[in-house]
Every structure is written in structure tokens, then in C-alpha cells.
Amino acid sequence: MQDLNPAPGGRAAELRDRLAAVRHRIAAASADAARPEPALIVVTKYFPASDVRILSGLGILDVGENRDQEAAPKAEETSDCRLHWHFIGQLQTNKAKSVVRYADAVHSVDRVSLVNALAKGWAAENEHREQRGEHPRDPLSCFVQVNLDEAAADARGGASPGLIEELAVRIAGAPGLALAGVMAVAPLGADPLTSFRRLGDLAAAVRAVDVRATGMSAGMSADLEAAIAAGATHLRIGSDVLGPRPPLR
């Protein structure tokens, strides 16, 4: 466990101060919207495992990553921190087997082939665990990622709104998967509050499949207030906690 009161000037102090500022924004926005505070997922992509350890010491329980080749070794290196790992990026089906080994949730389920790959990977992982005499993994929480801007040439990922219900049904019926809710990124140039309110409306199709699927993963550093106002249950915050991204390795 890291020191919760690090000395001034170091990376731990920087993360402590940045995290405190984000938590203040979340608390204020939740109070203004008269909504419960959503879960904070700190997105650590491109940042080292040492930062993850510091964040764990500062009380962070949920960490997000969007590249398996970075997330897998980072999760292994910090396995003693007992974090919940959220995969939030576009996921290739051939990476599903790796992701289910460490991820507790996947926020970017946007096609039936990925549902099938995740279910197959979960079954294989639990078979290996049984053979080793280990406890099985809990069901993998899956959010249906929705594309809120189908007309954009550079759409930011996700399934067409018309496919939400089918994906929800497939997830709910897949062994080892648990339907969690919906996820989206606000379209570039669009009003985030309007976008997230639309996501909230579309989420009804998922709740119709499973009333427990009430999750709404929405909001990043620039638009967390709008996401909270629209009813987000999970925020994905990176740069406002960790600072500018380091150069790509």
C-alpha cells in the first residue's frame, strides 16, 4: 500500500492532487444533478505500472486500459493491488482469450462475434483454473458499446442503436458473461449532454433484456459533468488524473 500523504514534489503528490481535483468535480456535479456519485475508472493507458500502484494507495479500485498488449503485463505486475480491471478499447476477437484472464469488465462489446469470443475465452480460462485447483473467475461484466454518430466517417466505435437489443440478448445468454449496461463516447463536436441523454434513452432496450443491467459507462475528463447529469454510473477519466500522455512506446 502506498503512503496516502506523500511528500510534496513527487509523482505520488502530483497524482494525489490531480485525483482530489477530479473527485471534487464528481462530487459537485453529482450534488448539482441530485444523483449518486458514479464509479471512477482511472484510465492508465500509456502510463507505467508504478502509477497504478500509487493510485491503488490513493484509494482507486477501478483501472481502465484500451490495449491488451499493455494491459495484460500491467495487470500481472500489479496483481497484489487487488484492482478491478476494465477493458475500454476496441477489442479484436483474437485478443478476447487474453483479456478474460485479467479483466473484470469489458465496456466495448459491439458485435456478436466478440460476444462469442469472450464467452469461449471465459470457458477456456475457467477450465484451466479448474485443472490447477484455482477458484473460477466471476462472470465477465459486459457493456454494449453504442455508436451515437453513425453518419461520421471517423465514428468512435460501437454498435448501431438498432443492434443494441440483439447484442444484449446474446450477452445475457452467453455462459460466463453478465449484461452490465451500455457505454458510449460523445461524438466529436456534439453537445455531450444531449448525446448522453440519448444513450440513457437507448439503455432501455438493454434493461428490457435484464433489469439488473443498469450500468451506463459515459464521460471522460472533458465531459464528466454532462455524463453525471445524464445518469452515468461509471466515468472513464484519464488525463485529468494522470496528466498529459507520455510519448507512445
* pLDDT for position 218: 98
* 247 occurs within a structural domain: no
* 4 occurs within a structural domain: no
* pLDDT for position 136: 87
Indicate the helix (H) or strand (E) that contains 64.
strand 62-65
Cα separation of 116 and 12, whole Å?
Answer: 41
Higher pLDDT: 234 or 133? It is 234
* 127 occurs within a structural domain: yes
* pLDDT for position 246: 75
128-142 pLDDT tens trace = 998 898 888 899 999
* 230 occurs within a structural domain: yes
Residue 154 has pLDDT above 60, yes or no: no
Give the CATH number, domain containing residue 214.
3.20.20.10
Nearest to 224 by CA among 11, 12, 42, 17: 42
Query: Which position has the grid cell 443492434?
Result: 163
* pLDDT for position 1: 39
Q: Which of 9-13, 91-95, 121-125 is least confident?
A: 9-13
With bands split at pLDDT 50, 70 and 90, how would you rate the model's confidence at 2?
A: very low
Residue 90 has pLDDT above 90, yes or no: yes
* 82 occurs within a structural domain: yes
Residue 16 has pLDDT above 80, yes or no: yes
169-200 pLDDT tens trace = 999 999 999 999 999 999 989 999 999 999 99
**Enclosing domain of residue 104:** 11-242
- Total tally of structural domains belonging to the chain: 1
* 110 occurs within a structural domain: yes
Residue 156 has pLDDT above 80, yes or no: no
Q: Which of 81-85, 90-94, 151-155, 165-169 is least confident?
A: 151-155
With bands split at pLDDT 50, 70 and 90, how would you rate the model's confidence at 73?
A: very high
- Mean pLDDT in residue range 7-16: 84
Residue 166, CA atoms < 13 Å, CB-side half-sphere: 9
Query: Which position has the grid cell 479448474?
Result: 130
* Cell numbers given for 245: 500522455
* 211 occurs within a structural domain: yes
121-130 pLDDT tens trace = 999 999 999 8
Higher pLDDT: 22 or 246? It is 22
| Residue 125 phi, psi dihedral angles, 5° rounding | -65, -40
Q: Global pTM?
A: 0.93
- Mean pLDDT in residue range 211-239: 98
Let me know the angle formed at the C-alpha of 167 by 187 and 70, rounded to the nearest 5 degrees: 65
With bands split at pLDDT 50, 70 and 90, how would you rate the model's confidence at 163?
A: very high
Average pLDDT, the chain: 93
* 5 occurs within a structural domain: no
